[in-house]
Every structure is written in structure tokens, then in C-alpha cells.
Amino acid sequence: MPVDPVALTAALIRCPSVTPAEGGALRLLEDLLTEAGFSCTRVDRNGTPNLFARWGRKGANRTFGFNGHTDVVPVGDAAAWTRDPFGGEIADGWLWGRGATDMKSGVAAFVAAAVDFVRETPPDGALILTLTGDEEGDATDGTVALLDWMATEGEAMSVCLVGEPTCPERLGEMMKIGRRGSMTAFFTARGVQGHSAYPHRAKNPVAVMARLVDRLSSQPLDAGTAHFDPSTLAVTTIDTGNPATNVIPALCRATVNIRFNDLHSGASLTDWLTAEAATVQTETGVEIGLTVKISGESFLTPPGDLSDLVARSVEAETGLRPEPSTSGGTSDARFVKAHCPVVEFGLVGKTMHQVDERVEVAQIPALKAIYGRILKDYFA
């Protein structure tokens, strides 16, 4: 009997897998995949739950991979939800619950498609599923741990499809062939505290920080590239923690987030930020410190066989030719891209991370059908 992806999504939603808790989600999938003939291995690292599943021979000439995550973000104010965030309830044509969109429906769709495919038409090749419980967290011991383990064990995917939600309004309208890089810069300006009536006796770090963030945000980073929009820089906070109106504080902090295209790297932007801070420090005499966290580099899977395969399958099932895009935030595709060509395609993501997260029920079997067609065409 075919696997019902709607019922599987609901069952996964009922697993309270708030990152990095496993919540029973990976155990549920491991049981289903093992029964279907997949060889399953838990690849947990530093308390993060991960599952590797392979059908077929290790080292096969052709190995198609799916990647996804079962962890979800916290529900926030549970009282604000119309329905139980872990109830997996179907009502009004929607399946409700945390992870319904991001991304338990995508996982259920590709697991169901994979199980049905190997049962009905055992392929000449192998099928690998990598599932993590760390995508919504620090992402240091999830897909990264799986790929590290695969390298040690001689496991490899020829190509990979990440099932993240990718469509803005309608299923089928967009796929991701790359992602922007993401980094956060933390500045600390250290001045000299003083009385606001005697500003000449102090060194005001607030004014200095304002000068720095104005320099950073006033100049465009670039005009975009063939596959990427212009890079963006956003000042997300400036803090002094100063409750007094007549005291110039000694310390001011600011945070800047940059989403960057393939004209830049985390290192090149760090060099630029360092130079800008040094210029303002020299001009003002106020010491400015900088620390940087790089969440991921920009990457691109150039349009080719994999993106064409996905586009053809999506169009055949939905009538829409998906636009190749690099918009949005980061995903675990940023790690997979170093292993093999990777494309992302999934359902409409409008309610992800929201209160009353939900997915239109009809989208889930439609997504399974798309994934099933991709597998059939890949192994044809």
C-alpha cells in the first residue's frame, strides 16, 4: 500500500521535536524506512539526532539523495495558537502544527515517494536520505555531522534535493539553485564616560558607533550578479544599556547582519568591516572591537542537468515552470553543496515559523508526486 504523506506529516507533527530534541520523529522514520528495506544508521553527534538511510548498494554509479530536517523552532506563546501546535489536526483543508510547513511535510513527501519508488520500481542505483535534528539550531552537528560520517564511511550522493519550502505563493513556482551567504558582525566601541554637561571631558562611543554604522549602511555592497540580487547590510541593533540622561556612557555595541552574493566571501567582508572600523577609530580616538560569525558562504549550483530534471518534473505535475532563485535565508544546502550538486524544492512557505503554522493538505500529496517523478526520471 502506498505511504500516505498526509498521515505521515501529521504523525511527525505530533512528535515535539523542538531543536535539538528528537521527539520521536527520527525513530518513526527509521522504523518506516527499515521496513521498506533501507539500511538505517543513527549518526548522532554531541547530542544532536541524525539519521542516514540508504536503499541499494554503497558506491552505486548513480545515487540520488534527499536531505531534510525534523527539528522545529519553538512554538512561542502556545496560548496564541488556534490549535494544538503538536496536534497534527486537519481542519478547513489545512494540516495545522509546528513544522507543518518547515519542514515535516517536505520530509514526509520525499520519504513517502522514496519508499513507494523502491517498492514499485527498484532502481538501478542507490537512494540516500539524510535527516537531521539540527537545522533550526546551530547547525554544527546535523547535516555537517552526516556528511562527515559519510566521508569516513565511503558513502556518497551523486546529486541531492533538499526539501525545504521554496515557493512564495503557489506550489511549483520557484526552486533554489543557490543561497546567499550570511554573516553577523558585532561591534564594541569603548570611549570614556563623562557628564553630559561636559562632553569635551568624555569620549562618546554612541556618536562614534552611529558614524560607523552610517558608513556601513550608506554604501551599496554591489549591484547583484547573474543569479543573485544585490547584497544587503542591515543594522539590527545599537545598545548602550545607559538609563541615565546626564551620563555619556563608556561603552556602545552594535550588530550588523549581511546577506551576500557570490561577489563576496565571509573573509573579504570581514576585511572590509575591519578596515571601516579602523578608519572610524583613527578619526575619533575611540577603540572599536569587532567579532564576526559567518553562518554560511554564498553558493550556486549552475543551471544544468539537476535543475533541468527538477524543473521538468515540477512542470509536468503542476503546469508551472519553477523560477531558479537564490533568494531567502540559509539552509543545509550550504553544507551539501561541497559534497555534490544540490537543488532545493518544496512547498509554499508562507506560514513557516508563525503562530498557527499550517500547510494546505492538497499540497502534500502533490509534492510527493513531484518527488516521485523526479526519482523515476533520474533513474530512467
What residue ranges define each of the domains in the chain, with the CATH number in brackets?
A: 5-179+299-379 (3.40.630.10), 181-296 (3.30.70.360)
Rounded Cα distance, 158 and 144, in Å: 17
Selected catalytic residue, list 71, 102, 262, 332: 71
- 138 pLDDT band, cuts 50/70/90, is confident
Q: What pLDDT is attached to residue 269?
A: 98
**What digits encode the pLDDT tens for the residues 201-227?**
999 999 999 999 999 999 999 999 999
The mean pLDDT of 138-156, rounded to a whole number, is 96
133, 25 Cβ separation under 8 angstroms: yes
Catalytic site residue 135? yes
Catalytic site residue 71? yes
Q: What pLDDT is attached to residue 177?
A: 97
Q: What pLDDT is attached to residue 329?
A: 84
**What digits encode the pLDDT tens for the residues 266-282?**
999 999 999 999 999 99
CA distances 199 to 181, 191, 254, Å, are 41, 12, 22
* Percent of the chain topping pLDDT 70: 100
The three cell numbers locating residue 165: 519550502
Rounded Cα distance, 149 and 155, in Å: 8
Instruction: Write down the mean pLDDT value for the chain.
Output: 97
The mean pLDDT of 97-106, rounded to a whole number, is 98
Question: Which residues does residue 130 pair with via DSSP β-bridges, in sequence order?
Answer: 52, 67
- 330 pLDDT band, cuts 50/70/90, is confident
**What digits encode the pLDDT tens for the residues 154-177?**
999 999 999 999 999 999 999 999
The mean pLDDT of 62-74, rounded to a whole number, is 97
Sign of the Cα pseudo-torsion (188, 193, 199, 200, in order): negative
**What digits encode the pLDDT tens for the residues 277-313?**
999 999 999 999 999 999 999 999 999 999 999 999 9
Q: What pLDDT is attached to residue 65?
A: 98
List, as one string, the DSSP characters of 204-225.
-HHHHHHHHHHHHHHS-S----
Rounded Cα distance, 324 and 304, in Å: 11
- 76 pLDDT band, cuts 50/70/90, is very high
Selected catalytic residue, list 135, 164, 276, 344: 135
Q: What pLDDT is attached to residue 209?
A: 98
Q: What pLDDT is attached to residue 170?
A: 97
Residue count of the chain: 380
The mean pLDDT of 240-252, rounded to a whole number, is 96
